[in-house]
Amino acid sequence: MHDAPRRTSADAAPSPPRRSLFHWLPFPLAAVTLAGFGGGWHWLLDLTSHFRWYWLLLALACLAVSWRQAGRVALACLAVAVLGNVWPLLPYWLPAAGGSAIAAPTAAARLDSLSIVSVNVLTSNADKPAVLAYLRSRDPDLIVALEVDTAWAAALAGLADRWPHAVVQPRDDNFGIALLAKQPPREHQVREFGDAGVPSIVATFTDPAAAYTVIATHPVPPKGPNYARDRDAQLRAIADFVAAAPLPCVVAGDLNATPWSAAFRDLVTRGRLHDTALGRGVQATWNARAWVPRIPIDHILVPPGTEVLRRAVGPDVGSDHFPVEAELRLPARR
């Protein structure tokens, strides 16, 4: 009886190649990419839409690492992930129609322009001098401040020498709000849009060049089905208000929605608004305390015919949000 021949390493069956994470990512990347288009159906699907530029970067990394070894199905999933995220991102990379971005408007341009800064100051932010110094350095015509409590209301009152006209609605939670202006509004009101019980400020201004309405707002974050429903209802009510308003409207604030969210798309479509960030890249504003995630949820939206002279994200002022700055030339008064 002969012993069974010994198997050498050369006779052993080859082990399958080890697959890295990049080999498995194409399938969930395609899934979350497609899920983002269904945000109008369910709030969890809408959450996936906020991170489109992350999905795109991951899909491109997968292609770079594993395209030679990837099968047809994986390549098809990567194609879905790349194209499905490039398409909604593209308007923010292509040159915007109307208006040109300039680094510093001239004094002559400022005579018929409107500058706005929207800043979520963060209720717990102890570095109030940094916020106040930043606002003085930018010197905008209008300031929208969010998460204003009584301490922040007192701090903002220190700006009265330059912005003497203020509408301030402080709260103990994160939804106090303020609007500071150099010129007096013709009229203003604090009102609630939707049923979330959070205040927005609506103010109408008149100057020699234009008459316009500013809506400062801060919907609740979509942290669950009820909050998502309240956020969507608030943005929808604002859109209906803008659509029916007799004057052009500017909407500014922390909307807790990225441009790819179903609620945001509905706001700009129903309200016939224009995103000032178009053509200027993905200008992420949150989270200022970490590199991931950083997504654009603070916005300044304008009426059709507005020339966007400048749009930028401001510096770190101690908040978890970066400020948003815009220099506008609104449609001339008729």
Percent of the chain past pLDDT 70, that is, above it, reads 86
Contact between 247 and 207 under an 8 Å Cβ cutoff? The reply is no
How, if at all, do strands 249-254 and 211-217 pair?
parallel
Number of CB atoms found within 10 A of residue 189's CB = 12
- How confident is residue 5, by pLDDT bands cut at 50, 70 and 90? low
| Residue 140 preceded by cis peptide, ω within 30 | no
The Cα–Cα gap between 247 and 242 comes to 9
pLDDT digit string, tens, across residues 17-38: 555 556 788 899 999 999 999 9
| φ and ψ at residue 119, rounded to 5 degrees | -140, 125
> What are the residue boundaries of the structural domains of the chain, listed by start?
21-92, 107-329
Q: What is the pTM of this model?
A: 0.88
pLDDT top residue among 191 and 293: 191
- How confident is residue 101, by pLDDT bands cut at 50, 70 and 90? very low
Percent of the chain past pLDDT 90, that is, above it, reads 78
Please, what is the angle between helix 52-66 and helix 72-89, to 10°?
A: 140
Q: How far separated are the first and last CA of the chain, in Å rounded? A: 108
Using the predicted structure, report yes or no on whether residue 262 has a pLDDT greater than 50: yes
pLDDT at 100 (0 to 100):
42
Q: Domain 107-329 is of which CATH architecture? A: 4-Layer Sandwich (3.60)
